[in-house]
Structure 1
Amino acid sequence: MKSEKIFFENADGEKLSGRIDFPLARPAKAFVLFAHCFTCSKNLKAVDNICDALTQNGMAVLRFDFTGLGQSEGAFADTNFSSNLNDLVKAYEYLNEHHQAPQILMGHSLGGAAVLHVAGQMEAVNAVVTIAAPADPTHVKKLFSEDEEKLKENGEAEVNIGGRPFKMKKQFLDDLEAQDSKEVIHNLDKALLILHSPQDEIVGIDNAAEIYENAMHPKSFITLDGSDHLMSDPENSRYVGSIVGPWASRYLTDQQAPEVAPEGEVWTRIGSEGFFTEISAGKHPLIADEPKNSGGTDLGPSPYDYLLSALGTCTAMTLRMYADHKKLDLKEVRVKLTHKKIHAQDGENSEEKKNKIDRIARKVILEGELTDEQRKRLIEIADKCPVHKTLEGRPKIETQEVKDF
């Protein structure tokens, strides 16, 4: 995905740091506004994984650091739940002014409670997604219960949240207690998706049940069985992203048709970290990666996997075409391919002995009532598939830098 770093001002004129992740095929069919968990930042790895999956689904995602957190200006001690809601409104306004108003609001943990409370103020939002969200924002008080008395007595205190110290004022507690979550959820009037883990020890699963019970339809619940609160296992956050895109798609309006690569062109894009790569082959979105033992995250086929796939599919299609033309009883073709680097055979040139060459082994299974002669001919035809000819022809590849395509 492609990312753009942005800044926008909160209600007090302080700069908030944000990032918009775009899909490979632009323009995005919709924008998502994401609110992270309490005291977290936009750079949480689980958020990265969710955004990756959403951009693959053709959506752009804005995530940002709330006031006083991450790279945003301001003092965390002067914030409260209401100021977080104001930050979300400002993020919504930024998207509306510079891109497109978000149609999807998504929040994790207290960020999930925040999107429930603010969605009603955002006319363009059609769908709301919560991940491990408390039914009531006062739930966050449990994180600093040991310091609550000190906060009430002194008006402020340094509290420890997740192993990190934060300065907090009593007004944060007062603001939490002033919220009426039950009524807000009941009057949401937006499509709602609730994702929660039964094993969540920070925000119990009963919170998901309470949100679901108070919300009106359309509402859905999906269990994140086996996940912890922060989705520390990457598979859980990737699963969340893969679910949200298709679910939200039915609630989108005025979708922009994504720009796609013309027939005969393939576009690829890779980010600043790792080997995860997005592919646009015409209207078909694909992904590529490298195995973990090669430094990748193994989220998609490798480039050589795609090379073998191209040869395998072309072989099968060519045989199908030939059999149909000759009216042969070919019921099924299966192709197995492997690629290896092998030492070149001994030759007159001593330098060639040190070189390695590529060898692709192709095995073909032909199912059907075929004569020996027909089978022999089909194997000969396999060597005539266009991709086979391209690979053996050693095509000339020309590379040039351009500003845009």
Structure 2
Amino acid sequence: MRVLSEKVTFAGQDGQQLAARLDRPEGSEPQAVAIFAHCFTCTKDILAAKRIAAGLVLRGVAVLRFDFTGLGHSEGEFANTHFSSNVDDLLAAAAYLEGMGLAPGLLVGHSLGGAAVLAAAGQLPAVKAVATIGAPFDPAHVLHNFGASLELIEREGEVKLELAGRPFTIRKTFVDDLREQRQRQRIEALGRPLLVLHAPGDETVEIENAAAIFGAARHPRSFISLDDADHLLTRAADAEYAAEVVASWASRYLGLVAPKPLPGVPEGVTRVSEADPGGFRQDVLAGAHHLLADEPLSYGGTNLGFTPYQLLAAALGACTSMTVRSYARRKKLALDDVTVDVSHDKIHAVDCSECEASGGKIDRFERVLHLAGALTLDERDALLAIADRCPVHLTLEGQALVVTRLAGEPR
């Protein structure tokens, strides 16, 4: 499934146009809709936001991620905003989606955006579930970013600070608004399933915040540790994991089902297409079946699916197991269970006495058969021998012809 990302704009809480991205599954209607709220002074295009949105889209969830007023590509002055205006921007985003017939059923908030979704959820009847990532329990937690300048802000009325390498004007109204929030009461009255994701080593928003949110929430509530992730989920694997967890958790509340293959895949064809254009993750579609292929993190992938050689080993193992089972049925053998372990590596051709090649390296697959049941030694030997008649085994040991052409060219 490909991610279709569309630039959109909508009117924010004070009429300013807010820049947004609506990410949705290409070629199919979304099963549910989510809003993603970004972290303090971040934007909709921060890597974590893009990766989490893409991960949710792969599960059939359309995601609206937008820049709060005065940030990113949105209009307005950041100096005129505060936490309450962020909440109002969230409500405006929900109203925009509702106007399109896409009422959001899921809110996902990162850091201060997590506090914002907790504050907004109670005003959005269509929302069925809420997830926070590295969120503070009290929105005023963000004040620690101002350090010694906080006293100057309160005395002077406003101060220009450098946050995350960029200049921002912070006014006393911003500080006062944060201190006036009654977040505990909101969490206690949330009335929605809540998922809290937090990294124990988060140095920006300490793990105690997650404990406080979880403690104030009513059931159903869940907590997931993000282990050694950093606050911004800068590693792709951490953001991908967060997206997968949120999607899996929310599926029971949003009624998500496994994605269906894209239309237009002919019968008898296995189609492989990029699930993350520019990356290694691939959608593999065959008939009504779907799986992911990928590469490990060490090779630049996201480790969310089988590697190509693992798929090849799986084909050999599955074919072997089916062949052994078919023989056991035909011969009425007492085979209770069969498991096939397949490993793959490269060896020098000179080390293979059975191989015709004499130079370079060749692929070597090793199968280990685990046969359970009241089988005689002769029956076990027969099953071992029949494993070599597996069609995929014969293909790998024989000669295969691969013909490649461009789409649209004659056969």
TM bucket (normalised to shorter chain) is 0.7 to 0.9
Query: What residue is the counterpart of 1:177 in the other structure?
Result: 179
- TM-score scaled to structure 2, two decimals? 0.81
SS in 2 for 1:179: coil
Query: What residue is the counterpart of 1:336 in the other structure?
Result: 342
Pick aligned residue for 2:47 from 36, 45, 48: 45
Query: What residue is the counterpart of 2:35 in the other structure?
Result: 33
Aligned 8 A contact 1:23 1:59 in 2: yes
Aligned 8 A contact 2:4 2:26 in 1: no
* Residue 186 of structure 1, CA deviation: 2.5
Query: What residue is the counterpart of 2:97 in the other structure?
Result: 95
Query: What residue is the counterpart of 1:55 in the other structure?
Result: 57
Deviates more, 1:59-68 or 1:44-53: 44-53
Q: Distance in 2 between matches of 1:235 and 1:259?
A: 25
Aligned 8 A contact 1:291 1:297 in 2: yes
2:322 aligned with 1:306: no
* Residue 119 of structure 1, CA deviation: 1.0
Query: Could you say if the C-alpha distance between residues 142 and 361 of structure 1 is closer, same or farther in structure 2, counting changes exceeding 3 Å?
Result: closer
Aligned 8 A contact 1:24 1:279 in 2: no
2:273 aligned with 1:269: yes
1:134-283 paired onto structure 2 within 5 Å = 134-252=136-254, 258-260=259-261, 264-270=268-274, 271-283=276-288
Q: Distance in 2 between matches of 1:93 and 1:400?
A: 45
Deviates more, 1:115-124 or 1:8-17: 8-17
Query: Could you say if the C-alpha distance between residues 358 and 106 of structure 1 is closer, same or farther in structure 2, counting changes exceeding 3 Å?
Result: same
Query: What residue is the counterpart of 1:123 in the other structure?
Result: 125
* Residue 181 of structure 1, CA deviation: 1.9
* Residue 71 of structure 1, CA deviation: 3.0
Query: Could you say if the C-alpha distance between residues 303 and 191 of structure 1 is closer, same or farther in structure 2, counting changes exceeding 3 Å?
Result: same
Aligned 8 A contact 2:137 2:213 in 1: yes
Query: What residue is the counterpart of 1:348 in the other structure?
Result: none
Deviates more, 1:281-290 or 1:63-72: 281-290
Query: What residue is the counterpart of 1:5 in the other structure?
Result: 6
SS in 1 for 2:367: strand
Alignment-mate amino acid for residue 272 of structure 2: T
2:369 aligned with 1:365: yes
Aligned 8 A contact 2:4 2:25 in 1: no
* Residue 281 of structure 1, CA deviation: 4.3
Aligned 8 A contact 1:265 1:281 in 2: yes
Residues 249-288 of structure 1 deviation map (CA, whole Å, 9 limit, x = unaligned)? 22225x5784336775544332233212233445554222
Aligned 8 A contact 1:311 1:388 in 2: yes
Q: Number of matched residues?
A: 395
Query: Could you say if the C-alpha distance between residues 269 and 64 of structure 1 is closer, same or farther in structure 2, counting changes exceeding 3 Å?
Result: farther
Alignment-mate amino acid for residue 58 of structure 1: G
Alignment-mate amino acid for residue 4 of structure 1: S
Q: Distance in 2 between matches of 1:25 and 1:146?
A: 53
Query: Could you say if the C-alpha distance between residues 41 and 267 of structure 1 is closer, same or farther in structure 2, counting changes exceeding 3 Å?
Result: farther
Query: What residue is the counterpart of 1:387 in the other structure?
Result: 392
Q: Distance in 2 between matches of 1:240 and 1:291?
A: 17
Alignment-mate amino acid for residue 291 of structure 2: L
Query: Could you say if the C-alpha distance between residues 361 and 218 of structure 1 is closer, same or farther in structure 2, counting changes exceeding 3 Å?
Result: closer
* Residue 182 of structure 1, CA deviation: 2.7
In structure 2, list runs of 5 or more residues that go unmatched. Answer: 351-356
SS in 1 for 2:107: strand
Q: Distance in 2 between matches of 1:275 and 1:366?
A: 33
Aligned 8 A contact 2:25 2:61 in 1: yes
Query: Could you say if the C-alpha distance between residues 341 and 103 of structure 1 is closer, same or farther in structure 2, counting changes exceeding 3 Å?
Result: farther
Alignment-mate amino acid for residue 363 of structure 1: R
Alignment-mate amino acid for residue 260 of structure 2: E
Query: What residue is the counterpart of 1:349 in the other structure?
Result: none
Pick aligned residue for 1:315 from 317, 320, 334: 320
Aligned 8 A contact 1:134 1:203 in 2: yes
RMSD over aligned Cα, in angstroms?
Answer: 3.5
Alignment-mate amino acid for residue 142 of structure 2: V
